[in-house]
Structure 1
Amino acid sequence: MTLNEIVDFDMEQGHMVQALLEHCHNMKRQETRLRLATAFLIAAFLATLVWIQFHQQKTEGFSGARVEALTTDEGSPRRCSTYLKTDPSKNACSHKQSTEQLIRWSQMSYGLDHQRFNLTDSSVLHVFTKGFYVINLRISYRVARHKCQRTHKPILEVKVTQQHNNYKEERDVITAVESMPCILYWQQSVTLNRAVMLEDDTDLRVKINSDTCEYVNWYVNSDLEVTYF
């Protein structure tokens, strides 16, 4: 092994150790944030149920319809979810001059309730029923070789939008903006969580900024789950 090869090998090892340390710190920070977000969503959902129960006592006509919608004949919640994964075969990065790019999904065979949801054109999740929904989204990124310079920090922009006939234009449901260090083999996930009221026949889409498309890890840890309560 030549002297230059030894130097390059040592530098590569140093970069990998640095990336590992920063990755561990980043994962710990994301885990803390996710726990806080989950606790907030649970608290918000419980508060919503308390409000609904109070409102039911005040309005008898609304009470009967709402109880039927929230419970089965046995009195248990009618909760259902859809679970989607990113589809690598359909998410080729576009070279057009667009600032945003749609995420395309593959529906899991066990994860789509056709009475509540329908995935159309791989990128639009149609919600049939008005109600409360919890949205959980995760987009995973990875810095591969020759993707960027160490002095550059990509800005990761992720959003979930909704479109309805009552709206003049598409609206943001939840958004996130994070920076990512350009370190070889660095991995990072952007996670979004929110409880939201959706109208019937609402279309949901997930978008990212186009210039970070090449960093997305389409094969692992990129998924969307929407739960109806």
Structure 2
Amino acid sequence: MGRKPQDEVALRDVEIGARPDESLLVLLEHCRDMKRQETRLRLATLFLLFSCSAVFIFCIHQSPAFRGQAVAAELGTAYSKQDNFMKDCPQTNLTRPSIHLTSVESDDDKSNGAHIKWNATLGEKYYNSTERAIVIPQPGIYYVYLRIALCWNGDYTENPEYTEDKRISIKLHIWKDSYQKDVPIMEALDGIATTGYVNRNVYLGQVFELKTGDLLRVWIGDGYELIDIRKTSFGALLL
């Protein structure tokens, strides 16, 4: 059966009415796609910005200048804490005495069996010239050292009196109130050949626990004539 004119008109109306709805759906779907793409683009941009910022901050922290500033700041803080601790600690408020003596040539000192006379070049107030001794000003652990310069000048092989070697005996004495006498705490025995020019040093050094008022002095048993007064020294310092 053929369609009636009225049916054809209605069908055309339906078809014409459906086209705007489909176009609207397509347009809405396109808008949604655009929004999704825009959102993805924004997220990608933010991620890129965060990544660049993280790389920049990492590079700054790894740079030598920044590390130097950080270390300096940490050291400054540490030193500040240490200074505060040192100020609060009563033991660190004590001075740390250092005594350095050089030998003095004197007519009455050129004999064996005597204590050497000194001149104080550092810590003069800790040297007793009468006793020829270092006076320990406060208790503590001290490093005590002695340098004896030996010198013999000339060739005496033709003279039998000088064919034998010369010996030197050195002792570091300590005097304490508890036993009221000199006690050797360091000692050196040495000698040089008298057949020519000799120039040598004898070193002594040791750590001692000393008390206030202890006296330290150097005693020469033999070989005083071998000592080079210009280069001989003696000292002590609180550790």
For the criterion TM > 0.5, the same-fold answer is yes
- How many residue pairs get aligned? The number is 149
SS at match of 1:84: strand
Correspondence for 2:69: none
Contact 1:106 1:122 in 2 (8 A): no
| Structure 2 unaligned residues grouped into runs of 5+ | 1-88
Q: Which amino acid aligns with 1:102?
A: H
| Structure 1 unaligned residues grouped into runs of 5+ | 1-66
Contact 2:176 2:214 in 1 (8 A): yes
Q: Which amino acid aligns with 2:120?
A: Q
Correspondence for 2:145: 136
Partner Cα distance (1:208, 1:187) in 2: 18
- Normalization by structure 1: what TM-score? 0.58
SS at match of 2:138: coil
1:160 paired residue among 158, 172, 178: 172
Partner Cα distance (2:171, 2:145) in 1: 11
Is residue 234 of structure 2 the alignment partner of residue 217 of structure 1? no
Is residue 103 of structure 2 the alignment partner of residue 86 of structure 1? yes
Structure with the higher fraction of residues in helix conformation: 2
2:117 paired residue among 90, 104, 109: 104
Contact 1:164 1:201 in 2 (8 A): yes
- Normalization by structure 2: what TM-score? 0.55
SS at match of 2:109: coil
Partner Cα distance (1:179, 1:161) in 2: 21
Partner Cα distance (2:192, 2:205) in 1: 20
Structure with max Cα Rg: 2
Partner Cα distance (1:86, 1:173) in 2: 20
Partner Cα distance (1:91, 1:194) in 2: 30
Taking only the aligned residue pairs, the percentage that are identical comes to 18
2:190 paired residue among 178, 184, 193: 178
